[in-house]
Amino acid sequence: MSRGQGTVAIIVAAGVGERMGLGVPKQYAPLGGRAVVAHSVAVLAAHPAIDRVMVVIGPGQERQAQAALADIMADPWLVAGGATRRESVKAALEALDVEGGAARVLIHDAARPFLPARVIDDLLAALDSHEGAIPALPIADTLVRHDSVMGDIVPREHLYRVQTPQAFRFGAVLAAHRAWSEGREATDDAQMVRDAGHDVTITPGDAMLDKLTYAADFVQAEARLAATRLPRTGMGFDVHRLVEGKPLWLCGVEIAHSHGLSGHSDADVAIHALVDAILGALAEGDIGQHFPPSDPQWKGAASHRFLEFARDRAAARGAEIAHVDVTIICEAPKIGPHAQTMRARLADLLALPASRVSVKATTTERLGFAGRREGIAAQAIATLLVPNS
């Protein structure tokens, strides 16, 4: 991105309070299987008109932010915020200016996790003719003044609820922040840009952009999110031959045994089946299409890389891996003594609690290739919650 060009999204996630009783700042609280902040980061990072995404964080939140965004970006652009929202946004704008600036910026609150792409499109289009644009919804309810008892009705014509993201030409919003008097707080960035003499237009907002403010909002958000996703189930099955003198890998765990599995990669038959199950739930083919045996780069590769790829594909689609179940079919070695270690390893690779990972084993009563100890088979089922699109 050339200096002064492109579009950058800034997500303000610098809050440190835990007043909602969630145990963590609300931007890092889980919502639909991922942190609140990760929802809007994923949408903005995937939007074709946005070149970079910056996340403004509070003091000491680097690890929390990196963990929250690990399934979206390996090296997130994190900037330390200030004591107030205004100071946090100014810190972000100054950091962006040091890096070369931008033509346009969107400034969004992390506490508004459900961001429709249409809202972004409308805001950016509005910047063709205005210095700033904000999404807003007209007031539908009756408004009254209140002073211990009901007072006069307040006319609601021309009244709107302002939301984020707010979009600006970079030079205008940076200058507005630099000119703003210290000690004077603004309710939002649009107020500052307007105070600097620029026109700020209104584009249609969306009820999905309601802010998470109270604990009850999380309950409603979970219900809203569930209504937008459908459960999908994928199945996977794989077989590999046992050969003497090779290491035996199952579910990402090396098992002491006289024989190991033969294959182009490390031949972890259980992970291969699970990868196919996840890709199947996403309707994105199978492991062979993404990692063909004909490609020498996968020779001897650790199969956990394939599982991490499937996990990241699910995350990129906004899908939540709800549960996985793996069955290993063999006469030897005995899987029972290793099952809990395998569950823990898969849970770690999938970034899931172990309670959502099942590993079990069975035999074929000495029938067939597995019964003759010629090979090991595995089957897997993965249940995902996938956006309904």
pLDDT higher than 80, residue 230: yes
Q: What share of the chain has pLDDT > 70, as a percent?
A: 97
Phi and psi for 370 in degrees, rounded to 5? -65, -40
Strands of the chain, DSSP E: 7-13, 30-31, 34-35, 52-57, 77-80, 104-109, 132-138, 143-147, 149-154, 160-162, 166-169, 200-204, 229-244, 248-250, 253-255, 259-262, 320-329, 357-362, 375-387
Residue 95 or 156, more confident: 95
CA distances from residue 113 to 38, 40, 73, 122, 273 in whole angstroms, order as listed: 8, 5, 17, 18, 33
Domain ranges of the chain: 7-227, 230-387
CA distances from residue 36 to 112, 118, 143 in whole angstroms, order as listed: 8, 20, 31
Helix (H, G, I), strand (E, B) or coil at 67: helix
One fold for 7-227 and 230-387: no
CATH of 230-387, one of 3.40.50.11540, 3.40.50.450, 3.40.50.1970, 3.30.1330.50: 3.30.1330.50
| pLDDT tens-digit series, residues 12-41 | 999 876 555 667 889 998 887 789 999 999
Quick check: bond before 387 cis, omega within 30?
no
Residue 109: which of 171, 41, 32 has the closest Cα? 41
| pLDDT tens-digit series, residues 51-106 | 999 999 999 999 999 999 987 887 999 999 999 999 999 999 999 999 999 999 99
Partners of 138 in the beta sheet?
160
Q: What secondary structure does DSSP assign to 116-167, as a single string? A: -HHHHHHHHHHTTT-SEEEEEEE--S-EEEEESEEEEEEP-TT-EEE-S-EE
- How many Cβ atoms from other residues are within 10 Å of residue 216's Cβ? 10
By mean pLDDT, which of 223-232, 299-308, 347-356, 359-368 is the weakest? 223-232
Protein fold of 7-227: Spore Coat Polysaccharide Biosynthesis Protein SpsA; Chain A (3.90.550)
| pLDDT tens-digit series, residues 285-333 | 999 999 988 888 888 899 999 999 999 888 777 788 999 999 999 999 9
Contact 5, 11 (CB under 8 A): no
Contact 381, 277 (CB under 8 A): yes
